[in-house]
Structure 1
Amino acid sequence: MKEKYYPWMLLSVTSLGVLLSTLNLSTLNVALPEVATHFHANELASNWILLSYMLVNTIFILVFGKIADIFGRRGMYLIGLLEFTIVSFLCGIAPNVWVLIVLRALQALGGALIITNTTPLITDAFPAKKLGTGLSINVLVASMSQLIGPVVGGFLVSHFGWRWVFWFNVPVGIIGFIWGMFTLRAVPGEAKGEKVDWTGNVITFLGLGGLILAMSEGGTAGWGSLPVIIGLILFVVLAFIFFVVEKHTRFPMIDFTLFYDRPYAMANLATFFNSLARSSVMLLIALFYQVVDSEDPFIAGLKVLPITIGMMIGSLIVGALTVKYSARLLSTAGLFGTCIGMLLLTWKIGDQDSLIWIMVGQLLIGIGTGVFQTPNTQSIMLTVPHERRGLANGIRSMLQNMGAVISTALSLMIVTSLLPPHLKSALYAGAGAHISAGDTHLIVIGYRTAFLVMLFLTLLAIAVSFLRNTKKEKLVKHPV
Structure 2
Amino acid sequence: MEKKNLAIIGVLGSFAFLSSLSGSSTNLALPKIALSLGISSGLATWVVQSGLITTAILLVMFGHLGDEISKSYIFLNGGIAFLIGSAITGFAPTFWVIIVGRIIQAIGSAMIMANSMGIVTDYFPDKRRAEALSYISMFISAGAISGPAVGGLIMSIGSWRWIFWLNIPISLIVLYFGRKVLQIPKESINSVGSTMKGANWKGQSLFTVGMLIFFLSGPFFQGGKDILMGFAFLIVGGGITAYSFIQDDHAKSPWISPKVLHNKPFMISITALFLTMMVNAVSNIMLPFYLQSYGLMTPLQSGLLVMLQSVTMLIVSPLSGILADRVNRQLLTVVGLVVLMVSQVGYAIYPATMQLPLIIWPIVLNGVGMALFLSPNNALTMGLVDRSLAGIAGSVNSFARTLGMTIGISFSSSLLFVQIPGVVRITPQLGSNFMSAFMNVFGIATVVSGLTLIMVLIRYLQNRKVSKKTASVSK
Q: TM-score, normalised by structure 1?
A: 0.86
Match of residue 460, structure 1, among 421, 430, 451: 451
2:463 pairs with one of 441, 448, 471: 471
Deviation, 1:169, is: 0.9
Most deviating of 162-171 and 79-88: 79-88
Deviation (angstroms), 1:155 = 1.0
- Distance in 1 of aligned mates of 2:60 and 2:3: 31
More off after superposition, 398-407 vs 195-204:
195-204
- Structure 1 residue 72, shift from structure 2 partner: 2.4
Partner amino acid, structure 2, of 1:406: I
SS at match of 2:431: helix
Residues 96-130 of structure 1 deviation map (CA, whole Å, 9 limit, x = unaligned)? 11221122111101112222333444554568997
- Give the corresponding residue for 1:297: 299
Counterpart contact for 1:215–1:410, Cα < 8 Å = yes
For residue 395 of structure 1, report the CA deviation from its aligned partner.
1.6
Relative distance call for 1:21 and 1:442 in structure 2 (3 A) is same
- C-alpha spacing 1:299/1:246, structure 2 compared with 1 (3 Å): same
Structure 2 residue 134 is matched with structure 1 residue 143: no
Can you list the C-alpha shifts for 1:363-414, whole angstroms capped at 9, x where unaligned? 1111111111222223323333444444333222211211110000011011
**What is aligned with 1:430?**
none
TM superposition shift of 1:308: 1.3
- Equivalent residue runs for 1:139-218 within 5 Å: 139-187=137-185, 195-218=198-221
1:108 matched to which residue of 2? 106
Flag the 1:242–1:306 CA change in 2: closer, same or farther, 3 A.
Answer: same
Q: Is the 8 A contact 1:68 1:189 kept in 2?
A: no
Does the Cα contact within 8 Å between 1:312 and 1:367 map onto a contact in 2? no
**How many residue pairs were aligned?**
459
Cα distance between partner residues in 2 of 1:259 and 1:121: 20
Partners of 1:130 and 1:340 in 2: CA distance: 31
Q: Is the alpha carbon distance of 1:242 and 1:217 closer, same or farther for their aligned partners in structure 2, counting shifts above 3 Å?
A: same
SS in 1 for 2:45: helix
1:77 to 61, 75, 78: 75
Distance 1:12 1:262 in 2: 33
CA distance in 1, matches of 2:115, 2:384: 23
Q: How does 1:431-450 map to 2 (within 5 A)?
A: 433=427, 435-436=428-429, 439-450=430-441
Retained in 2: the 8 A contact 1:210–1:230? no
- Measured after TM superposition, the shift of residue 14 of structure 1 is 3.1
Structure 2: state its 5+ residue gaps: 468-475
1:99 matched residue in structure 2: 97
Residues 73-110 of structure 1, C-alpha deviations (whole Å, 9 max, x = no match): 44433322222222212212212112211221111011
- Which deviates further from its counterpart, 357-366 or 217-226? 217-226
Whole-Å Cα distance in 1 between the matches of residues 326 and 131 of structure 2? 21
Letter in 2 for 1:219: Q
- Report the equivalent of 1:477: none
Alignment of 1:111-122 (within 5 A): 111-122=109-120
Which amino acid is the alignment partner of residue 218 of structure 2? M
Change (3 A) 1:64 1:230: same
Q: CA deviation at 1:256?
A: 5.5
Pairing of 1:265-284 with structure 2 (within 5 A): 265-284=267-286
Q: How large is the Cα RMSD of the aligned pairs?
A: 2.8
Amino acid at match of 2:440: T
Offset of 1:267 from its aligned partner? 2.1
Q: Percent identity over the alignment?
A: 23
| Corresponding residue number in structure 1 for 2:44 | 46
Contact 1:80/1:110 (CA < 8 Å) preserved in 2? Answer: yes
